[in-house]
């Protein structure tokens, strides 16, 4: 099946001879399951027979979503979690459980991921190091300095949209005995499939493109065979699982992922073509740029013809107050701190995603005070352009 069909069908409509088949997986709210014989329950609890016994271990609605995500990401198995951050936490624990307690992370990842490493893992004696993940020589040096048990990156970095050489990173991770964990939230499996490029574990904030409508907080971990059992074991004990209602909504969202994400990529492409000529725009960052520093990595890992649905741009001569005024003048585009919704969202990194990063560090990362990030929605591109244009001209 092609991706457009998989998003509609995978996980749903399992046929059991002689039983009715609901056309969409129902929301199973029951927390506890029993059978007509206690011996069956005993076998299910002991993992000797497939079945459900308690929703923290597995839930039929969640399992349908997990099967769908396993198919889309080409994994061995998946776990639906209560948030993207819960997914990342379990992924790190699964990666490190039987390896050196050291993480080598890209220095350009979501702020809360840095918080998770520095404030939650570091006090438990996990060594944390950061590196420019697009600089392979720097990655090799960092591995020599402190051999990691886990290498972590986002498939498209935020907000400057850098793309690492995932095949090379997977090879480096393997020879260092480390797991490669990739946050694929920005790309979705429609654009990038990290497991096919050699990664071991993929995480998503399902809150974004997968659910897609700004009404679900959730996460997903998809792993290879070597890591899936540890992930389920950790979750069974710690219990950061997604609720069945959110699972249903996420699955419902994914059914239109190909339509939504395809349109969002087209809209982002059109914005990236239009913005450079705007008199108030200094610079545009987008993955279709032929001068993008990671053009070869983009070619290697992106689905042909798509460049993602997020772009960033710098407003000419703008300081913080100018950017805040620009955001206040937006009439349709939502100035909110998220991405991946059907409506276009605009985020100011200095105020939101990189608020806790020192100005000096931001400067080093290339995140200037005049930079904004746009996550294109599915509206008419002309309307997005018209709104950005009127807001830009009024500041
Ligand atoms: C790339 C990325 N990963 C993970 C997360 C965390 O996801 P959640 O808010 O669902 O916990 C976010 C949230 O913005 C994100 O942008």
- Write down all domains in the chain, each with its CATH number in brackets: 3-254 (3.40.640.10), 257-393 (3.90.1150.10)
Q: Over range 222-236, report the average pLDDT.
A: 97
pLDDT higher at 87 or 108? 87
- CB-ligand 1 contact for 330 (6 Å cutoff): no
DSSP-assigned letter for residue 96: H
- Tell me, what's the pLDDT at 365? 85
- Tell me, what's the pLDDT at 3? 98
Q: What number does the ligand 1 atom closest to the CA of 338 have?
A: 14
**Cβ-Cβ contacts under 8 Å for 4 (sequence gap 6 or more):** 258
**Nearest Cα residue to atom 11 of ligand 1:** 84
Q: Which of 13-27, 122-136, 152-166, 240-254 has the lowest mean pLDDT?
A: 13-27
The Å distance, Cα 208 to ligand 1 centre, comes to 8
Q: Over range 294-311, report the average pLDDT.
A: 98
Is 165 among the catalytic positions?
no
d(CA 260, CA 378): 6
d(CA 128, CA 89): 14
Is 316 among the catalytic positions?
no
**Catalytic pick among 162, 193, 208, 373:** 208
> Coil, helix or strand for 133?
coil
The Å distance, Cα 86 to ligand 1 centre, comes to 10
Is the model's pLDDT at 16 over the cut of 90? no
Percentage of the chain surpassing pLDDT 90?
94
**Cβ-Cβ contacts under 8 Å for 290 (sequence gap 6 or more):** none
The Å distance, Cα 32 to ligand 1 centre, comes to 30
- CB-ligand 1 contact for 154 (6 Å cutoff): yes
- CB-ligand 1 contact for 152 (6 Å cutoff): no
- Tell me, what's the pLDDT at 386? 98
d(CA 329, CA 395): 8
Is 208 among the catalytic positions?
yes
DSSP per-residue string spanning 293-346: TTHHHHHHHSPTT---SEEEEEETT--HHHHHHHHHH-SSSB--S---SSS-EE
The Å distance, Cα 22 to ligand 1 centre, comes to 32
**Catalytic pick among 165, 183, 294, 387:** 183
- Tell me, what's the pLDDT at 69? 98
Task: Provide the 10 A C-beta neighbour count for residue 181.
Answer: 27
Q: What number does the ligand 1 atom closest to the CA of 154 have?
A: 1
- CB-ligand 1 contact for 352 (6 Å cutoff): no
Is the model's pLDDT at 382 over the cut of 90? yes
Q: Over range 322-342, report the average pLDDT.
A: 97
d(CA 264, CA 67): 25
- Tell me, what's the pLDDT at 353? 86
**Nearest Cα residue to atom 9 of ligand 1:** 84
Dump pLDDT digits (tens) for 52-88.
Answer: 999 999 999 999 999 999 999 999 999 999 999 999 9
- Tell me, what's the pLDDT at 361? 80
Is 261 among the catalytic positions?
no
- CB-ligand 1 contact for 205 (6 Å cutoff): yes
- Tell me, what's the pLDDT at 265? 98
């Amino acid at each position: 099946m092609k991706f457009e069909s998989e998003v509609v069908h995978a996980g749903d409509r399992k046929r059991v001879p002689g039983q009715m088949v609901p056309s969409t997986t129902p929301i199973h709210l029951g927390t506890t399951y029993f059978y007509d014989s206690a011996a069956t329950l005993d076998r299910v609890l002991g993992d000797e027979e497939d079945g459900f016994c308690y929703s923290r271990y597995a839930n039929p609605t969640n399992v349908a979503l997990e099967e769908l995500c396993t198919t889309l990401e080409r994994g061995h198995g998946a776990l639906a979690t209560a948030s993207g951050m819960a997914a990342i936490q379990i992924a790190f624990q699964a990666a490190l459980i039987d390896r050196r307690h050291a993480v080598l992370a890209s220095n350009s990842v979501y702020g809360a991921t840095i918080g998770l490493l520095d404030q939650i893992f570091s006090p438990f004696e996990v060594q944390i190091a950061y590196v420019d993940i697009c600089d392979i020589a720097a990655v090799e040096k960092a591995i020599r300095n402190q051999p990691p048990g886990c290498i972590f990156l986002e498939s498209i970095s935020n907000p400057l949209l850098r793309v690492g050489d995932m095949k090379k990173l997977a090879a480096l991770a393997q020879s260092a005995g480390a797991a490669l964990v990739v946050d694929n939230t920005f790309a979705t499996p429609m654009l990038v499939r990290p497991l096919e490029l050699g990664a071991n574990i993929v995480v998503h904030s399902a809150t974004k493109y997968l659910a897609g409508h700004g009404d679900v907080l959730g996460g997903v971990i998809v792993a290879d065979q070597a890591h899936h059992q540890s992930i389920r074991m950790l979750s069974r004990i710690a219990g950061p699982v997604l609720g069945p209602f959110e699972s249903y909504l996420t699955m419902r969202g994914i059914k239109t992922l190909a339509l939504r994400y395809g349109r969002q990529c087209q809209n982002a492409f059109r914005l990236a073509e239009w913005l450079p000529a705007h008199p108030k725009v200094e610079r545009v960052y987008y993955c279709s740029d032929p001068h993008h520093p990671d053009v070869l990595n983009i070619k290697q890992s992106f689905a042909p013809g798509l460049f993602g649905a997020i772009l960033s741009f710098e407003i000419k001569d703008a300081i913080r107050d100018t950017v805040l005024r620009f955001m206040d003048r937006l009439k349709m585009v939502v100035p909110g701190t998220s991405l991946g919704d059907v409506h276009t969202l605009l985020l100011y990194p200095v105020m939101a995603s990189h608020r806790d990063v020192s100005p000096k560090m931001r400067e080093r990362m290339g995140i200037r005070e005049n930079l904004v990030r746009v996550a294109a929605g599915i509206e008419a591109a002309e309307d997005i352009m018209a709104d950005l244009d009127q807001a830009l001209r009024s500041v």
